[in-house]
């Protein structure tokens, strides 16, 4: 290589590996931050191996990638062989077009189109769940197929047609000629196709996002659903491990002859026996992988012990990380002890109320326990999507504080058991913001801090900040009032650095931004990881959003009693305290907020902010909580939001 070429290649490599280097470094971070490095440690690696949910997601991702790539390679190779033999030009053109569609169509369209079909067909047949592992597998096979075909087909075309004929002249049966002559000839294409299919399936997020269903969550979806809470360095640790595994694998297999369509059309391949031996070895390897993959599929498809499907917000349960209590495992053990047989909890997460509602209302999934927020509970209740609870199975309900009972969304206490409550406050960095400027919502509109202010990247919360500021009703059904709020948000827009959800953590922790509105409990998560150069403070505006997230049982529930037992368990002291400490939001369970150890663990500041005046909570909540809005109103808000975002 010439020096210029060398230099250029080095620059490109720098570009390609800069982010990888970042995640390598931050995976060794001591603090829970992806932007402030505070010292090396292996902490997150230990955490990773304790995180059963993430490891489960990794397992699911691998199972899916193995099955999808193997099946699509088999079917794709067969298809390529068939296409190669097609005589009709029209047929050939038709096949080419169809094969090209998934490649030319954006992922988002492939995902949506499959989702629409699965949901529609599922509804037609009255299936309880129309999206599950199998639909995801179908989706993955579908988008991998063209890549396999396009790798194998050229190899067939390059092959000398007289080869199989010669074999048959020498007494081979057609099948034998195919297996012994053609297959080894096209093997490099098959292997490249397999590797490509595996890579694509492993990395796919968009198509999985739309076709994911019950309890089968892959890694990309799990990461995406962390959007309300923070993405932890644990994920970087995982990526680092993946990186080195792949590196090791590639070096080991020498990877070489599997490189995509590399070799020049050399007419004279001298070492035929060696090539054949290699082909045999590779075939053997593929066979092994295939067997392992099939067994894995059978394992997950095999009938199992009773399963409880729980659908909760991302990062919204104490999961054994950072030396916390593992609630899910705790429940499984507790159940075995008390009921004498095993149970399995299938725990999956969602990114927003709307995301959860979209999945449930399509009838595509079936869950036993869900944790929506108040206004969404009202909507689901009105639409008959919730079941009444049998409180005989939930005796621990007695510990729920008086102020959290009979809320507007469930006045007769029939459907819900509150899980957490919290409110929106303003977090500001005392190093960047003058103390005299703080006070109510005006700080978020203060021109002095132009470019340092963060606003919510979800319509309801963002509009609410403007509505509270203007003294408007956040539940108004008057479009003009929403227009006024939009005007206020537009006025704020030039000052806004970024519209954020989970990015808020990095930006506040590193001093990248100075002011944000976010959920009170999350302030403490930021405090823990903040850089030394940052001095984060918190205050609660007079009018602000108070919310409750509550456990409910949706009408698609398959095992109601088990769901109620689970809800009851969540109110037991040990898991409840662990969850409250993990989530950092306020807890409506008196076993928790009256507990001295809990108060000590949280610290004085946290207790003051989270439980300022529990008696008054009902009043504030009644005044400022979100209510469900009509579909037309939601559509209007969505349109107004788009108007803000396109400016």
The residues in 154-193 that bind other proteins, with binding defined as CB under 8 A, are 164-165, 168-169, 174-175, 177-178
The single residue listed with the structure tokens 């303003």 is: 426
15: contact with other proteins by CB under 8 A = yes
Residue 639, C-beta contacts closer than 8 angstroms, at least 6 positions apart: none
- Non-local CB neighbours of 125 within 8 Å, separated by 6+ positions: none
Question: 78 CB contacts (<8 Å, ≥6 apart)?
Answer: none
Among 199, 324, 432, 475, binds other proteins (CB under 8 A): 199
- Give CA 568 to chain center in angstroms: 27
User: CA-to-CA distance for 624 and 473, rounded, in angstroms?
Assistant: 8
Backbone φ and ψ for 536, nearest 5 degrees, come out as: -80, 135
List the one residue from 52, 55, 62, 109 that touches other proteins (CB under 8 A).
109
Task: Give me the helices (H) in 417-512, please.
Answer: 459-470, 479-492, 503-509
Q: Which of 128, 163, 179, 250 binds other proteins (CB under 8 A)?
A: 250
| Pair 453, 514: CB distance under 8 Å | yes
Strands (E), 72-216: none
Nearer to other proteins, 475 or 540 (CB): 475
The residues in 594-613 that bind other proteins, with binding defined as CB under 8 A, are: none
* CA-based radius of gyration for the chain: 28
Residue 275 touching other proteins (CB under 8 A): no
Minimum CB distance to other proteins smaller for 173 or for 398:
173
Quickly tell me which residue has 């390897």 as its tokens: 285
Task: Give the range of 382-390, 504-512, 572-580, 600-608 binding other proteins by CB under 8 A.
Answer: 504-512
Beta strands 546-551 and 496-500 are: unpaired
Q: Smallest gap, in angstroms, from Cβ of residue 526 to other proteins?
A: 15
Q: Which of residues 122-141 bind other proteins (CB under 8 A)?
A: 138-139, 141
Q: Which is nearer to other proteins, 73 or 545 (CB)?
A: 73
- Under the criterion CB under 8 A, does residue 10 sit at the interface with other proteins? no
Shortest Å, Cβ 330 to other proteins? 29
Identify the CA nearest to 509 among candidates 499, 495, 523: 523
**One of 93, 179, 262, 291 touching other proteins (CB under 8 A):** 262
Quickly list H helices, 183-232: 183-203, 206-211, 219-224
Identity of the residue, 318 or 465, whose beta carbon is nearer to other proteins in the bound complex: 465
Identify which of residues 359 and 543 has a Cβ nearer to other proteins in the complex: 359
Task: Pick the piece of the chain touching other proteins (CB under 8 A) from 8-16, 39-47, 562-570, 571-579.
Answer: 8-16
Q: If binding means CB under 8 A, how many residues of this protein chain bind other proteins?
A: 118
The CA-atom distances, in angstroms, between 419 and each of 404, 407, 550, 571, 579 are: 10, 13, 5, 8, 9
**H or E segment at 312?**
strand 307-313
Task: Supply the minimum distance, in Å, between the C-beta of residue 88 and other proteins.
Answer: 10
Written as six digits, the tokens of 99 are 């094969």
Of residues 340-399, those binding other proteins (CB under 8 A)? 352, 354-355, 357-358, 361-362
Q: Least distance in Å: CB of 503 to other proteins?
A: 7
**From 378, 422, 506, 544, residue interacting with other proteins (rule: CB under 8 A):** 506
Residue closer to other proteins, measured from CB, 526 or 609: 526
Q: Which of 28, 210, 518, 582 binds other proteins (CB under 8 A)?
A: 210
Q: Which of 98, 128, 291, 292 binds other proteins (CB under 8 A)?
A: 98
| Strand partners for 547 | 422
| From candidates 383, 594, 622, 642, binder to other proteins by CB under 8 A | 642
Between 104 and 295, whose beta carbon lies closer to other proteins?
Answer: 104
Tell me the closest approach of the beta carbon of residue 483 to other proteins, in angstroms.
8
Cβ-based nearer residue to other proteins, 206 or 294:
206
- Select the residue interacting with other proteins from 19, 40, 285, 494 (CB under 8 A): 19
Span interacting with other proteins, options 253-261, 584-592, 593-601, 605-613, rule CB under 8 A: 253-261
The distance of closest approach from Cβ of residue 498 to other proteins in the complex, given in angstroms and rounded to an integer, is: 3
CB of 293 to other proteins, least distance (A): 18
Tokens of 368: 């036993």
Q: How far is the CB of 256 from other proteins (least distance, A)?
A: 5
117 binds other proteins (CB under 8 A): yes
Dihedral sign (CA 139, 142, 145, 146):
negative
Q: How far apart are CA 646 and CA 92, in angstroms?
A: 44
CB of 567 to other proteins, least distance (A): 26
Interface of this chain with other proteins, residues 58 to 77, rule: CB under 8 A: 75-76
Tokens of 469: 């500021």
Nearer to other proteins, 78 or 623 (CB): 78
Interatomic CA distance for residues 541 and 427, integer angstroms: 11
- Find the helix packing angle between 233-253 and 43-50, rounded to 10°: 90
Contact string (CB under 8 A) for other proteins, positions 420-459, x = contact: -------------------------------------x--
Site for other proteins in 30-59 (CB under 8 A): 34-35
**Structural element, H or E, at residue 425:** strand 417-429
Q: Which of 542, 543, 457, 460 is nearest to 507 (CA)?
A: 457
Contact 220, 204 (CB under 8 A): yes
Shorter beta-carbon distance to other proteins: residue 53 or 326: 53
User: Residue 307: helix, strand or coil by DSSP?
Assistant: strand
636 lies in the site for other proteins, by CB under 8 A: no
Per-residue DSSP letter, 42: S
């Amino acid at each position: 290589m010439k020096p210029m070429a060398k230099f250029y290649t080095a620059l490109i490599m720098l570009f390609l590996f800069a982010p990888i280097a970042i995640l390598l470094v931050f995976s060794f971070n001591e603090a829970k931050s992806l932007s402030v490095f505070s010292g090396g440690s292996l902490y997150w690696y230990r955490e990773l191996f304790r995180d059963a949910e993430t490891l489960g997601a990794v397992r699911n991702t691998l199972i899916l990638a193995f099955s999808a790539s193997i099946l699509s390679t088999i079917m794709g190779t067969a298809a390529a062989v068939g296409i190669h033999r097609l005589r009709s030009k029209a047929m050939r053109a038709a096949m080419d077009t169809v094969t090209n569609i998934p490649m030319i169509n954006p992922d988002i369209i492939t995902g949506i189109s499959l989702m629409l079909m699965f949901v529609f067909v599922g509804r037609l047949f009255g299936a309880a769940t129309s999206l599950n592992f199998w639909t995801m597998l179908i989706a993955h096979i579908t988008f991998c197929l063209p890549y396999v075909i396009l790798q194998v087909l050229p190899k067939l075309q390059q092959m000398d047609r007289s080869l199989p004929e010669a074999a048959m002249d020498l007494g081979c049966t057609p099948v034998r000629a195919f297996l012994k002559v053609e297959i080894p000839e096209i093997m490099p294409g098959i292997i490249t196709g397999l590797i490509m299919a595996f890579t694509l399936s492993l990395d796919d997020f968009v198509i999985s996002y739309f076709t994911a269903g019950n309890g089968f969550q892959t890694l990309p979806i799990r990461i995406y659903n962390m959007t309300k809470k923070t993405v932890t360095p644990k994920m970087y640790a995982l990526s680092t491990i993946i990186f080195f595994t792949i590196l090791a694998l590639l070096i080991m297999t020498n990877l070489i002859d599997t490189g995509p369509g590399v070799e020049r059309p050399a007419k004279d391949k001298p070492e035929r026996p060696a090539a054949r031996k290699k082909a045999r070895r590779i075939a053997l390897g593929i066979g092994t992988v295939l067997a392992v993959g099939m067994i894995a599929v059978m394992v997950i498809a095999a009938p199992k012990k009773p399963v409880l499907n729980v659908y909760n917000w991302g990062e919204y349960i104490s999961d054994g990380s950072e030396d916390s209590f593992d609630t899910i495992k705790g429940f499984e053990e507790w159940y075995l002890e008390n009921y004498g047989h095993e149970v399995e909890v299938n725990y999956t997460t969602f990114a927003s109320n709307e995301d959860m509602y979209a999945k449930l209302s399509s009838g595509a999934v079936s869950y036993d326990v869900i944790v929506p927020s108040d206004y969404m509970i009202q909507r689901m209740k009105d639409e008959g999507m919730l079941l009444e609870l049998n409180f005989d199975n939930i005796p621990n309900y007695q510990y729920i504080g008086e102020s959290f009972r009979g809320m507007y969304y469930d006045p007769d206490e029939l459907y819900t058991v509150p899980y957490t409550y919290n409110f929106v406050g303003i977090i500001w960095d005392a190093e960047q913001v003058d103390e005299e400027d703080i006070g109510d919502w005006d700080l978020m509109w203060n021109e002095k801090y132009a470019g340092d202010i963060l606003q919510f990247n979800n319509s309801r919360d963002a509009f609410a900040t403007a509505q509270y500021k203007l003294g408007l009703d956040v539940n108004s059904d008057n479009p003009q009032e929403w227009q006024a709020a939009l005007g206020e948000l537009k006025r704020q827009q030039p000052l806004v650095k970024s519209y954020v959800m989970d990015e808020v953590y990095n930006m506040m922790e590193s001093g990248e931004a100075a002011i944000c509105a976010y959920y009170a409990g999350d302030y403490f998560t930021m405090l823990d990881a903040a850089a030394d150069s940052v001095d984060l403070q918190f205050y609660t505006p007079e009018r602000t959003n108070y919310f409750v997230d509550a456990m409910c049982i949706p009408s698609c529930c398959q095992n109601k009693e088990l769901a109620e037992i689970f809800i009851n368990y969540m109110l037991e002291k040990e898991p409840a305290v662990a969850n409250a400490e993990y989530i950092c939001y306020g807890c409506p369970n008196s076993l928790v907020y009256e507990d001295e150890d809990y108060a000590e663990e949280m610290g004085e500041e946290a207790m003051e902010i989270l439980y300022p005046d529990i008696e008054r909570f009902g009043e504030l909540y009644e005044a400022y909580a979100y209510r469900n809005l009509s579909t037309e109103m939601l559509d209007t808000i969505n349109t107004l939001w788009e108007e803000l975002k396109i400016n």
